[in-house]
Amino acid sequence: MNKNHIIIASLFMLSLSTAATAAPTASANDMQGCQAYISFINDKVDSTSKKYPTDELAKIKSGLNIYNNYIQTEVITPTLNKLSSNNAEKVAEYQQQIDSANAQIVKSLHASYPQDRFFMDFAVSINDGCVKKSVPAEGSSDYQSLETALKLIIKLARQN
């Protein structure tokens, strides 16, 4: 491991820890892109199943899915409920718009990263674009699952 990787990993873990102590400041707009990135990385997990250890890929997918659920239940759904005055039809309409936008983001990410491998960018994007804005409570099992997933993404990216 070279010095730059140690610095990146240290900064990453520091920002994960710092985010956990701060109150969430994320908006639904901020976090919907995170959901798209999570979907994209989950696609990479599926497409790299022969290249990387399956137990590590399962931990990545599990941690990211837990974080995605956190984003949906703690940020997206409450925001949509507030915007629609708890009108279920409007919430469903807004969610459909988010899902459609996310599908376009995932498509774009696949075009940018066609290789069947992990890149350090994946962990950095989740960390800088998402975790710094909203993260499960530090020490919770959800937090630990996310932390494990991001550490494994870094590990697998370094193997390339």
pLDDT per residue over 119-147, tens digit each? Answer: 999 999 999 999 999 999 999 999 999 99
Q: Is the dihedral of CA 90, 66, 99, 20 positive or negative?
A: positive
pTM of the model: 0.84
**Residues counted in the chain:** 160
Distance CA 74, CA 82 (A): 12
Neighbouring C-alpha atoms within 13 Å toward the C-beta of 51: 13
Residue type at 3 in one-letter notation:
K
Model pLDDT for residues 95-105, shown as the tens digit of each residue: 999 999 999 99
- Number of separate domains in the chain: 1
Domain extent at residue 8:
3-158
Least confident of 16-25, 28-37, 40-49: 16-25
